[in-house]
Structure 1
Amino acid sequence: MSKIKSLSPLRFFSCLFFSISLQLVPGLGDNSSSNGNKDATKKSSNWLEILLILFGLLAAVAFSVFLYKLWQRKKRDEQHSRLLKLFEQDDDLELELGIRD
């Protein structure tokens, strides 16, 4: 239980997503029905499940990259505003000391 609390929310939800998606992989989930007539439909549904899992993983990776780029942009804007604020304070100091008109 303590490991779940130390995970970031993004890691927690990605672990939860992967654990749920692994249940859909053929042979890993609990499949108690063993009917011989449904083999043809199971093969097509297995491929559909695999494609859905791959699409979900691709969407999760794309969303993670988007969030990372958004975080980088926010961080860069904060640093830029701090730099501008630093130079604005220096200009005010020069005016107060009478160095510049």
Structure 2
Amino acid sequence: MQMIPNRRRPRVLTLLLFICSAVVTYFPALVPAAVVTLDSIELFRTHEWLPTKPTIYFQCKGENVTFLPDVKEKHVFYAFKGQESWQPLTELQDNKCKRCGIYEKDTLKSDDVFDEWEFCASDFTSSDGKYIHYKDKELNATFLCPECVPLGSASDHSPKSNNSSQTMHWALILLISALVLSVLVGATVVAYKYWKRRKQEQEHARFLRMFDEDDDIEDELGIGPLSHTV
């Protein structure tokens, strides 16, 4: 009779590896983010030569396009409530700016650019959480982000606050790194103990199987301890 070794991985090891991967995956979510909506916009011109309504959109580099379906005319002031189906525009973090812009879709060539700029939480310095972006002969847009005000106040406009923010950021990274390292070490120790225990069980089973085989051979030859000569 041959024993089949148990190949199941220990549940503790699986749980530790899951915790480790979850910490690494969701670490960026620990950095606070603030939602940005479009409060108002006015176009000073359009770039489409054909007598059709322009298609205007907002986009940050690497993110999805947000079309502005209501914006169709130049020299018209469009105000929004922030609850439109296409809102919000994006999210900002206190320690990272985004390259964003407002564009006009073109059917014959590459899309036209009203303006591109570095969009940062620190731009929202007004107490009401509004930031006005103006480009001469192109547009005047107001963005709303009340959550950006405390983030912007702790940004790199102040060297002391920036150093404090960077210190906390690196301390958080070191804490997470230490946690991940501890989990990996614990997982390694558990895996080694499991492997050692399984090896001992297999050696013990092999040792018992050897005695069983010897007893079977003795019984077949009739030389076992219970056999006798008549």
Residue ranges of structure 2 left out of the alignment (5+ in a row): 1-16, 33-93, 98-119, 123-151, 226-230
Equivalent position of 2:194 in the other structure: 74
Give the TM-score of the pair, scaled to structure 2: 0.32
Instruction: Flag the structure with higher helix content.
Output: 1
Q: Specify the structure having the higher radius of gyration (Cα).
A: 2
Alpha-carbon contact 2:20-2:180 (below 8 Å) kept = no
Q: Deviation of residue 45 (structure 1)? A: 2.7
In the TM superposition, residue 9 of structure 1 has moved relative to its aligned partner by 4.8
Question: For residue 4 of structure 1, what is the aligned residue in structure 2?
Answer: none
Q: Distance in 2 between matches of 1:96 and 1:84?
A: 19
Look up the equivalent residue of 2:197 and give its one-letter code: D
Q: Residue 121 of structure 2: which of 15, 22, 32 is its match?
A: 32
Judging changes above 3 Å, is the alpha-carbon distance between structure 1 residues 11 and 40 closer, same or farther for their aligned structure 2 residues?
closer
Specify the alignment match of 1:58 in structure 2. 178
Q: Deviations over 1:2-57 (max 9, x none)?
A: xxxxxx85774354145x17958x85x34512544x54233213202211211210
Instruction: State the identity as a percent.
Output: 13
Q: Which residue of 1 aligns with 2:22?
A: 13
Kept in 1: contact 2:23–2:176 (CA 8 A) = no
Deviation at 1:85, TM superposition (A): 0.2
Distance 1:51-1:41 versus aligned 2 partners, 3 A rule: same
Distance 1:49 1:64, change over 3 A: same
- The residue type paired with residue 68 of structure 1 is T
Per the alignment, in what secondary structure is the counterpart of residue 121 of structure 2? Answer: coil
1:86/1:49 CA distance change after superposition, 3 Å: same
The reply to whether residue 84 of structure 1 matches residue 93 of structure 2 is no
User: What are the ranges of 5 or more consecutive residues in structure 1 without an aligned counterpart?
Assistant: 1-7
Residues 73 and 49 of structure 1, relative CA distance in 2, 3 Å threshold:
same
Structure 1 Cα separation of the partners of residues 209 and 215 of structure 2: 10
- Deviation of residue 70 (structure 1)? 0.6
Q: Secondary structure at the match of 2:163?
A: helix
Aligned CA-pair RMSD = 3.2
Higher relative contact order (CA 8 A, sep 6+): 2
Q: Which aligned runs of 4 or more in structure 1 are off by greater than 6 angstroms?
A: none
Equivalent pairs counted in the alignment come to: 90
